[in-house]
Amino acid sequence: MAGVFVVDTSVFIVGKQPEGEVVTVQEVVDEVKDKVSRYNLGRGYSVSDVLDEDITHVKDVCIETGDYGRVSKTDLKLLALAYRLKLENKSPVVVSDDYSIQNVLEKLNIPYQGVQQEEIEKEVVWGFRCVGCKREFSSKELEDCPVCGSGLEERILKRKDIVDD
């Protein structure tokens, strides 16, 4: 079952369009055109209409989760679009950094990802490990182990996720 990415305005503005089928609503396209040049809208995406009954449904869910005051009309349409795709047995993944949207998607049981998610990668932290006592040191100033006096070898101490805020 191929996934369909339902993307919000920030995806186009940041220029992080996912690879694959990308759909959005007309309001998003209009917002992007207001803010940036059409250049960022260059790659393939399609614009989908939204059903009133779906908007009504997601609006109810927003009220239920307490997010109604925090979602825009555009947000509601994106949620309605994702909801419709799910009803049609597609696998929508909503791409948005908006916490209210993500919260409502949790309730709708629709997966989502942050706009910058593909930026998350492992950051390698280099350091030194003592060949004798195996203690690890991050300082590059050391020549020998300050604990036991043995030599140090350079190695990867850890890998951590880089989360781009």
User: Residues in the site for Zn ion, rule: CB under 5 A?
Assistant: 130, 132-133, 145, 147-148, 150
The nearer residue to Zn ion, 133 or 163, going by C-beta atoms, is 133
For the record, the structure tokens of 39 come out as 């250049």
Strand pairing class (112-113; 21-24): unpaired
Residue type, 82: A
Q: How far is the CB of 156 from Zn ion (least distance, A)?
A: 18
The nearer residue to Zn ion, 3 or 132, going by C-beta atoms, is 132
The sheet with strand 21-24 has its strands ordered as 46-47, 21-24, 3-7, 91-95, 112-113
Q: How far is the CB of 93 from Zn ion (least distance, A)?
A: 48
In the block, tokens 């781009």 appear at 164
Q: How far is the CB of 135 from Zn ion (least distance, A)?
A: 5
Q: How far is the CB of 159 from Zn ion (least distance, A)?
A: 23
The nearer residue to Zn ion, 142 or 148, going by C-beta atoms, is 148
Q: What is the 3-state secondary structure (H, E, C) of 92-130?
A: EEEECCCHHHHHHHHHHCCCEECCCHHHCCEEEEEEEEE
**Which of 58, 106, 104 has its CA nearest to residue 81?**
58
The nearer residue to Zn ion, 147 or 162, going by C-beta atoms, is 147
